[in-house]
Structure 1
């Protein structure tokens, strides 16, 4: 396909105009980022959102890769002098990689096969005679006798016939029609089965799959991933099963065009040989790979959805936080960070077994709380977290008995990825004089204050909000998660004077090197006063500035619009708008009532024309004048804070509790209800009056929900929940 045909194909697939796709493709090719296009080029793209823009980007990449592969294949076949006009047309018309590779299969260089050896013995003409199916009279052996040869080790006609069938079997294997027929059969009637490896004696996590059978078309993504892992760990034997006789009958119908041919029985033998030796093993692998790709795609989307919800958790501002990283033998690390996330001091306490120095630990914690006016304690959810939680809850209770008006709470926070961060280069640069455990603890404390700013320092795969994240396609996962992080960071925007280089790296248009240059510039020159100033920084040219400026915020900067999502290219238009309605740009926070009254009922088309912008840009300007410096996370529910603790033994079926959703997977959600073990809110318990197909339609990571305990298994530490 030409570039124009690719554009047309994408527009048809996505139900968008060719102009939208062409404009977007051109802007992406020029280096524009998705967040920039989604926010500041709505007029050009026709108002496309990030999801649509990324779909265009991904489809462009796919079709261009497909076209490059076509060129490579055409060249390879042409060099073999086997490229016919018909084959060339078929290859050029291909719309998917699978069909393209099927067409190329007969011409692929491969190691010597049984068919190649039969051809070397001069049997290809006999194979062609069998394949043609034109002879209806006579004895097949008579046609085979002329190929008897001592030199070629063909002692008789029967050997000539059976050996020539090796060539025919390979032609059957390479037939696009045969392969497509078998694919349909396998997808519709195939059964995935698994059995336990008899050599495995100990208990495993795969007991649900020891005697497992499911139709290919009904298998769930998490089942595919579980089977793959069980097979990889040599616990399970996994196979695809088909009704062989019925399948061979269907393949015979494709291959045999003339039932009266004297070679029909031989053709049937060739079909069976091709099926068992070549076709089935090849297409079984292909089917398993296809199911894995589908499961990967689903798991990646689930991970991405969970990650976005986690990153967009509202920050708890103006809190002095004590982070506590629980442990047993090595003690609990304690770190204090002030309202801006600056590390103040820390130490190690031993309130958990085996030391259980409760009194000494309480003295340390109380001293820190009093010294730094701590308002919130964040406890990591790792080993020893519930014992640590009980200790902290007791400290808070004792303090409130003496001072009922004191505002002090705690919360349990996921520490997933904290150890990865603590050992990273970023952490070492931030805290060169601290040990790894204390660095991780600071990360736990800061996650409460601004989850997004802290979590971007960690490889998203290590954050722990997915399912089988280490089993799935790591390249595709990384690409998707990078998109999520980019989207979240740019949606929120960053404070140009406080953002870490890691956070700045995810801003539209900024590279890792430029982000470091910005931080170094701040350290050397001091506070950045306005957006234009970053043009002085090495690596920030006009294009980078255009891509990045609108996502960089400067609270209390020299220009009031620098703390909004209004792009500098629209400042002049914004000032024109404000002049039209008597609004003072320099005092936006004091003008809110006037702005609301003046701009709520305007004729957008008319006003947009007056100030020289499109309607989408006008709407963006108005939104940011009405809410300058707005953080989109502020409207979301704040994390659930606690001051007391429950034990598993305190629970009983029918009890109603409030909990925080920690992870959402295909079969439900894991909910922290304030005891040692997260409860499982199964998908079947998410609604009473309807069937829920996707848990994400009901809950999201970070949601605060009301649940009822449906069942308890204290021995196995399992809690069943239902949504109230």
Structure 2
């Protein structure tokens, strides 16, 4: 197989782009580095396309390896014909290779293999020839042998039929046709096991069936879970009559009445006993894989949104971890994230010490000049929000609050990392700190938490965990590198996601920083233990140094392009100001002929465009383009809502027809499936997951029926 040609066709890009990307990947370059600094070579393939290319490259190479192993195994048996070799070589999937290998795969004992050992294969061949000329019993008599374990004519015929049944079941052409028609015309059906419980979450699947090929991913995963929990039985109902007709038409090609009757029985046995169960497993695996891939895409999108929420910088934040019985944990952090104070208050049930809590809040705000309260959206969030809103009306200070997604805060607070970071704090204090910091810099805080604990969606525990880790890990890596990190303040947790940096090297960077003081030059990275030239090439452009010796170190311009950047400025009569980038606005307009300028600088036009863009807006944070959290001072009431208002809300529940979103009015609004995306989606789960923070527009408010209609199409 020409792997490059296959990738070119699949990705719908140029062959040269694929060849360049494959070469770069094989040389050990990371996807973020290739996407950002090797655009000239790949024709600006983005990180999403590159990751798909990398994944398919590994699959296709694995497929070629499997083909070689299969052909070697068949050759060792002396059965590799030219035709079979050609078929294996042309196979496009692992399943197709498995189909071709099935008749030659070493097996445990089967009814057919035992029949062969008893010398019954010639009898099977005689039946398959469909030219009897005698009765079946007479043909079977010579094979009766006590010594070989064939005690009767009946036993001999049964053995021959077993051999034929296995041959049919292992025929690659038959299996492919049966698999395709089962997928296209088969139905997935489920029934309840035992008594029906109307309160069960699986109640809608107690007597359910639908086409296998169009069953939505979330239903496939729900059926799988119900089956795993032994509440449902799930099966694929194939068009059996049509399949048997097809097999009979292809197997029974003669008109011999003796063998035709036998072969009809053989076909039915072959399909029912051998082929159908295997095909059903394959269909179930195929629809599950498709459902998982769909879920992975939703999880990727959700996690990306959470990680790329814009930071709120320059404010003293009070993190509020709400609770009832154990009290609300508070933590005050300064604009750099340093913890200034922690305390526990009990304004919610059962203690209801509201006035006492307000006094504590007043003291904290006056002492530390708190300007923002970050409220977690967990248990007791609504009750805490009402207390905060009432309190803010009573104080002269201009303080606002934001409800943040606290998913994963408790996981982080009990982790080894949190224990190392805050050894003197209990889990509640750590959780409150995390809630405060994830408002100041969501990305820097969330990278400390296992992505699976950030609330990326439903059914995540039912998925392939290794694959889920890979998918979510790639999202974290892409987000961190897209934003870049401050080399002098970044934590180990943040640094280890930078291109080319392992956790060990990340620890070495922090240790070097602590021992030698702040980095003043990117080249100092080469002095960090285990950080060699290749790792430096991969990571340098994503590391930022503010106020260092070289102003370019504060940008995403890669050190390999410093010469070109300086020469560009020199040609334009400009120079770098050590204190900043004054006079760089409108730099691009000064370059009249970019092609000529790129040639003069010895770089590509794409690289030149990137240098100009970065010099015009150095260290630009891509998160600034995302919608910012809404800072609130009061709890909204339904009567405050007006059509056209855009609010931030939390997805609380998902149904087949839409998602219910909490927008802070104590009455969830409905985003109908038709208002979720500009593109067609089959189910709300294709667009959102429970716990997502989303921006919604108010469409309609019905006070009488207490209904709020929302839209995510902004």
Give yes or no for TM over 0.5.
yes
Q: 1:258 aligns with which of 238, 254, 258?
A: 254
CA distance in 1, matches of 2:703, 2:472: 36
Q: 1:436 aligns with which of 427, 445, 453?
A: 427
Unpaired runs of at least 5, structure 1: none
Query: Displacement of 1:261 after TM fit?
Result: 6.1
Query: Displacement of 1:709 after TM fit?
Result: 5.9
Matched with 1:228 is: 224
Partners of 1:192 and 1:215 within 8 A in 2: yes
Query: Displacement of 1:669 after TM fit?
Result: 4.4
Partners of 1:709 and 1:722 within 8 A in 2: no
Does residue 144 (structure 1) correspond to residue 140 (structure 2)? The answer is yes
Query: Displacement of 1:599 after TM fit?
Result: 3.4
**How well do the aligned residues superpose, as a CA RMSD in angstroms?**
2.7
Moved more, 459-468 or 663-672: 663-672
Query: Displacement of 1:241 after TM fit?
Result: 1.1
Does residue 246 (structure 1) correspond to residue 242 (structure 2)? The answer is yes
Matched with 1:281 is: 277
Q: 2:82 aligns with which of 82, 85, 105?
A: 85
Q: 1:47 aligns with which of 44, 49, 62?
A: 44
**Could you report, residue by residue, the CA deviation over 1:468-487 in whole angstroms, capped at 9, with x for unpaired residues?**
11111212221111111111
CA distance in 1, matches of 2:154, 2:311: 81
Matched with 1:591 is: 582
Q: 1:396 aligns with which of 392, 398, 419?
A: 392
Secondary structure at 2:462 match in 1: coil
Secondary structure at 1:307 match in 2: helix
Structure 1 pair 690/514, CA: closer, same or farther in 2 (3 Å)? closer
Query: Displacement of 1:359 after TM fit?
Result: 1.2
Matched with 2:622 is: 632
Query: Displacement of 1:602 after TM fit?
Result: 1.9
CA distance in 2, matches of 1:656, 1:506: 40
Query: Displacement of 1:497 after TM fit?
Result: 0.6
Q: 2:416 aligns with which of 410, 417, 425?
A: 425
Matched with 2:187 is: 191
Matched with 1:454 is: 445
Does residue 370 (structure 1) correspond to residue 366 (structure 2)? The answer is yes
Does residue 112 (structure 1) correspond to residue 109 (structure 2)? The answer is yes
CA distance in 2, matches of 1:712, 1:204: 32
Does residue 340 (structure 1) correspond to residue 326 (structure 2)? The answer is no
Secondary structure at 2:557 match in 1: coil
Structure 1 pair 694/48, CA: closer, same or farther in 2 (3 Å)? farther
Structure 1 pair 698/245, CA: closer, same or farther in 2 (3 Å)? closer
Structure 1 pair 221/524, CA: closer, same or farther in 2 (3 Å)? same
Secondary structure at 2:460 match in 1: coil
**Could you report, residue by residue, the CA deviation over 1:577-630 in whole angstroms, capped at 9, with x for unpaired residues?**
1011111212585634x5416635521001111222110110011001110121
Partners of 2:332 and 2:341 within 8 A in 1: yes
Does residue 463 (structure 1) correspond to residue 454 (structure 2)? The answer is yes
CA distance in 2, matches of 1:520, 1:713: 63
CA distance in 2, matches of 1:140, 1:64: 50
Give matches, 1:275-354, under 5 Å: 275-354=271-350
Partners of 2:376 and 2:403 within 8 A in 1: yes
CA distance in 2, matches of 1:289, 1:697: 20
Secondary structure at 1:25 match in 2: helix
Partners of 1:324 and 1:335 within 8 A in 2: yes
Matched with 1:577 is: 568
Structure 1 pair 180/290, CA: closer, same or farther in 2 (3 Å)? same
Does residue 659 (structure 1) correspond to residue 659 (structure 2)? The answer is no
Secondary structure at 1:586 match in 2: coil
Structure 1 pair 544/596, CA: closer, same or farther in 2 (3 Å)? same
Structure 1 pair 233/634, CA: closer, same or farther in 2 (3 Å)? same
CA distance in 2, matches of 1:80, 1:528: 64
Partners of 1:661 and 1:669 within 8 A in 2: no
CA distance in 2, matches of 1:608, 1:97: 46
Q: 2:674 aligns with which of 678, 684, 688?
A: 684
Does residue 485 (structure 1) correspond to residue 476 (structure 2)? The answer is yes
Give matches, 1:684-723, under 5 Å: 684-686=674-676, 702-708=693-699, 721-722=710-711
Q: 2:555 aligns with which of 564, 573, 578?
A: 564
CA distance in 2, matches of 1:337, 1:201: 50
Query: Displacement of 1:13 after TM fit?
Result: 2.8
Moved more, 65-74 or 299-308: 65-74
Query: Displacement of 1:509 after TM fit?
Result: 0.8
Partners of 1:661 and 1:670 within 8 A in 2: no
Secondary structure at 1:538 match in 2: coil
Partners of 2:319 and 2:433 within 8 A in 1: yes
Query: Displacement of 1:315 after TM fit?
Result: 0.6
Secondary structure at 2:456 match in 1: coil
Partners of 1:653 and 1:711 within 8 A in 2: no
Q: 2:486 aligns with which of 486, 495, 501?
A: 495
CA distance in 2, matches of 1:377, 1:92: 63
Query: Displacement of 1:659 after TM fit?
Result: 3.2
Query: Displacement of 1:253 after TM fit?
Result: 2.1
Secondary structure at 1:277 match in 2: helix
CA distance in 1, matches of 2:158, 2:604: 75
Q: 1:412 aligns with which of 403, 419, 423?
A: 403
Query: Displacement of 1:114 after TM fit?
Result: 1.2
Partners of 1:588 and 1:625 within 8 A in 2: no
Does residue 128 (structure 1) correspond to residue 118 (structure 2)? The answer is no
Structure 1 pair 108/255, CA: closer, same or farther in 2 (3 Å)? same
Query: Displacement of 1:92 after TM fit?
Result: 2.6
Matched with 1:177 is: 173
Secondary structure at 2:410 match in 1: helix
Secondary structure at 2:122 match in 1: helix
Query: Displacement of 1:712 after TM fit?
Result: 9.9
Does residue 15 (structure 1) correspond to residue 6 (structure 2)? The answer is no
Give the total of aligned pairs.
709
CA distance in 2, matches of 1:669, 1:273: 48
Matched with 1:387 is: 383
Matched with 1:615 is: 605
CA distance in 1, matches of 2:476, 2:679: 34
Using the size of structure 1 for normalisation, the TM-score is 0.92
Matched with 1:97 is: 94
Query: Displacement of 1:279 after TM fit?
Result: 0.9
CA distance in 2, matches of 1:723, 1:482: 27
Partners of 1:191 and 1:241 within 8 A in 2: yes
Structure 1 pair 144/719, CA: closer, same or farther in 2 (3 Å)? farther
CA distance in 2, matches of 1:619, 1:239: 56
Secondary structure at 1:585 match in 2: coil
Secondary structure at 1:659 match in 2: strand
CA distance in 1, matches of 2:102, 2:640: 63
CA distance in 2, matches of 1:175, 1:204: 43
Query: Displacement of 1:139 after TM fit?
Result: 2.3
Partners of 2:378 and 2:406 within 8 A in 1: yes
**Could you report, residue by residue, the CA deviation over 1:171-220 in whole angstroms, capped at 9, with x for unpaired residues?**
11111111111111211111111122224647221122122110112211
Query: Displacement of 1:86 after TM fit?
Result: 2.9
Does residue 270 (structure 1) correspond to residue 270 (structure 2)? The answer is no
Matched with 1:6 is: 3
**Could you report, residue by residue, the CA deviation over 1:38-59 in whole angstroms, capped at 9, with x for unpaired residues?**
1111112222222222222112
CA distance in 2, matches of 1:424, 1:466: 21
Partners of 1:589 and 1:628 within 8 A in 2: no
